[in-house]
């Protein structure tokens, strides 16, 4: 579960790269899209945090 959430986070970050680069070049529309991507990054990072907390609450395997 943790790794699946982490892979999703990485995918969201990779999807944002093009718009972030365009925004850095001064493209305002890309800046708007980049900010939206950053909201998605925030949500995906929260999913990773929640998965880690859930795993920590479970007894160890073995």
For all residues of the chain together, what is the average pLDDT?
95
Contact by Cβ (8 Å): 48, 6: yes
Domain ranges (residues) in the chain: 2-57
The model's pTM: 0.85
Radius of gyration of the chain (CA): 15
pLDDT reported for residue 54: 95
| Tens-digit pLDDT profile for residues 12-41 | 999 999 999 999 999 999 999 999 999 999
């Amino acid at each position: 579960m943790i790794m699946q959430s982490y892979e999703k986070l990485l995918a969201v970050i990779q999807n944002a790269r093009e718009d972030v680069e365009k925004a850095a070049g001064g493209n305002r529309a890309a800046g708007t899209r980049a900010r939206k991507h950053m909201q998605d990054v925030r949500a995906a990072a929260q999913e990773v945090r929640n998965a880690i907390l859930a795993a920590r609450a479970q007894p160890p395997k073995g």
